[in-house]
Amino acid sequence: MRRALVALSAGLLLGGCLLGPDYKRPPLSPPAVFRGEEPATATVAGPTFGDLEWEQLFKDDELRGLVRRALAANYDVRIAAARVLEARAQVGVARAAFFPQLSIGATAGQFRASQTVYPYPLPVSGSDNFTFGGALGFEFDLWGKIRRANEASRAQLLASEEAKATVLSSLVAEVATAYLQLRELDLELDISRRTLESRRASLRLVKLRKELGVSTGLEVSQAAVLVDFAAAVIPNLQRLIEQTENQIRLLLGEPPGPVTRGLPLAEQGLTLSLAPGLPSSLLERRPDIRQAEENLIAANANIGVAKAQMFPQLTLTAVAGQQTAALSQLMDGASGFWSFAGNLLQPVFQGGRLWFTFQATKARQQQVLVDYERTIQQAFREVADGLVANQKNREVRTQNEELTVTARKYLRLSTMQYEGGVASYLEVLDADTRLYAAEIDLARARLAVLLSVVQVYRALGGGWQTASLASSTEPSGEPKTAEGADRR
């Protein structure tokens, strides 16, 4: 009899139905190539730009050091890591439902019967009661509720790890962006200081010429305006530099303070050294897309959990222990008791709660599906925006380089003509103003090219691939399943 009961239990446990839809990746139609991709790189095979580790992308040792410090101490990274630990623990919580639930307890009390309730005298009006025992309960997973709950919890664990990878990717891009902006502000400050010194020298020259009767008071005023303008720009740049340094230190998880500089802006060497790759590969490379898919897997599994609630639930319970009115007799054989029972419970009427819960779960799955599709399209857009930005910003940088050379020549010629008495100082003023604006625009154009490279790198899913940061995605002591391996 006992063997038959065990066999029946095993059959119910292992052979139950699995309600709810099995997950299948929604059909997708990625474009053949990214919009804005140069035709020469569209068919290049091999590693893609997004496959690069950030240590390979950045050439500035100081920038690499800042990224390492940020990955080690950034607040968002630490929060994401804690969420992974929470999700890992939730996997253990869900898995515990596969096992019997055992509890033990002890009670000690005293009972006295009411003399007013019973009209006749009782042989014993009160007694002591001592109980020690245990209870065992087990739920058979007839309809796959527990299995679907485990599927959902494991998908949430993978989603939390992809969320952490997304944070890492964003953090690398944020640190690089802030550092490059800082180096561009440094360059603007250097240009402004050089311009200020040059204009002060011009002001001294104009004053000397006025003393000699060659220049006028108007020319002196014009030269003084240029000096004042350059001097007024410097404090604002210094403010922006300090604020950018504070922003970087916050990304590092450190208090406000200075930031060590490395290579100048023109020597950063950030280029799109590899092709972007196929759009279809973006679905596997970007962690936010993988996170959205894991959320969809979890929502799909929760449909099975909600549907199983509407079917009969089979549970087995067993209670055994010792009970006596005298503590000294608690361990006597005659004080033992036990009970064993099976319970089959079928919900009949609950005001529609289970049905509406099931419908809400399906609606939730549709929301997550739409979010997954939107995440994919947003990724394609970010890559396309980054590629076209890089292409056009390089064209702008080339034009600004030519403009700066022309403006520098214009200033040199106008200065020579002014000193020779052929041109007025107004022409020198105009040439100096144009050169300063051209140099500032060139610095900003160089920054825009570098930032577009960082933008493309992040959009392609780069930034989180670092071997030193790799960690197991499964709870301790549990091997990764085939489904998890495929999805990764």
DSSP per-residue codes, 46-92: SS-GGGS-HHHH---HHHHHHHHHHHHH-HHHHHHHHHHHHHHHHHH
CA 347 vs CA 140, 141, 372: distances in Å: 16, 16, 35
Digit-coded pLDDT (tens) for 70-108: 999 999 999 999 999 999 999 999 999 899 988 988 888
For residue 472, with 0-12 CB atoms within 10 Å meaning exposed, 13-18 middle and 19 or more buried, which class applies?
Answer: exposed
Digit-coded pLDDT (tens) for 260-304: 999 999 999 899 888 888 888 888 889 999 999 999 999 999 999
Q: Are 157 and 406 in contact (CB under 8 A)?
A: no
Digit-coded pLDDT (tens) for 395-429: 999 999 999 999 999 999 998 888 887 888 888 88
Q: What is the pLDDT of residue 429?
A: 86
Does a structural domain hold residue 128?
no
Does a structural domain hold residue 116?
no
Does a structural domain hold residue 282?
yes
Neighbouring C-alpha atoms within 13 Å toward the C-beta of 36: 17
Does a structural domain hold residue 255?
yes
Does a structural domain hold residue 326?
no
pLDDT greater at residue 455 or residue 338: 455
What range does the domain containing 452 cover? 16-99+144-316+353-487
Q: Are 318 and 339 in contact (CB under 8 A)?
A: yes
Band of pLDDT at residue 222, cut at 50, 70 and 90 = confident
Specify the DSSP element, H or E, that contains 108: strand 101-112
pLDDT(2) > 60: no
Among 255, 33, 18, 70, which residue's Cα sits nearest to residue 176?
70
* Cα–Cα dist 462/170, whole Å: 9
Neighbours of 354 (CB within 10 A): 17
pLDDT(6) > 60: no
- When divided into structural domains, the chain yields a total of 1
b vs e for 16-50, b when ≥16 Cβ sit within 10 Å of the residue's Cβ? beebbeebeeeeeebeebbebbeeebeeeeeebbb
pLDDT greater at residue 182 or residue 316: 182
For residue 8, with 0-12 CB atoms within 10 Å meaning exposed, 13-18 middle and 19 or more buried, which class applies?
Answer: exposed
Digit-coded pLDDT (tens) for 155-166: 999 999 999 999
Task: Using a pLDDT cut of 90, give the percent of the chain over it.
Answer: 52
Phi, psi (deg, nearest 5) at residue 461: 90, 20
Does a structural domain hold residue 114?
no
* Cα–Cα dist 443/264, whole Å: 11
Q: What is the CATH number of the domain that holds 163?
A: 1.20.1600.10
Q: Give 316's strand partners.
A: 138, 342
Does a structural domain hold residue 131?
no
Among 182, 99, 192, 101, which residue's Cα sits nearest to residue 146?
99
Among 357, 318, 372, 374, which residue's Cα sits nearest to residue 341?
318
Average pLDDT over residues 351-355: 89
Neighbours of 271 (CB within 10 A): 13
* Cα–Cα dist 203/210, whole Å: 10
Q: Are 169 and 456 in contact (CB under 8 A)?
A: no
pLDDT(481) > 60: no
* Cα–Cα dist 375/396, whole Å: 31
Q: What is the pLDDT of residue 249?
A: 96
Q: Give 112's strand partners.
A: 126
Q: Are 304 and 18 in contact (CB under 8 A)?
A: yes
Digit-coded pLDDT (tens) for 9-49: 555 544 568 888 999 999 888 888 888 777 655 555 567 88
Does a structural domain hold residue 8?
no
Q: What is the DSSP string of 224-266?
A: HHHHHHHHHHHHHHHHHHHHHHHHHHHHTT--S------S-GG
- Within 151-208, strands assigned E span none
Q: Is 63 left (phi over 0), alpha (psi -120 to 50) or beta?
A: alpha
For residue 435, with 0-12 CB atoms within 10 Å meaning exposed, 13-18 middle and 19 or more buried, which class applies?
Answer: buried
475-481 long-range contacts, Cβ below 8 Å, gap at least 24?
475/88, 475/91, 475/92, 475/157, 481/154
Mean pLDDT of the chain: 85
Q: What is the pLDDT of residue 334?
A: 72
* Lookup: tokens for 264: 């100048």
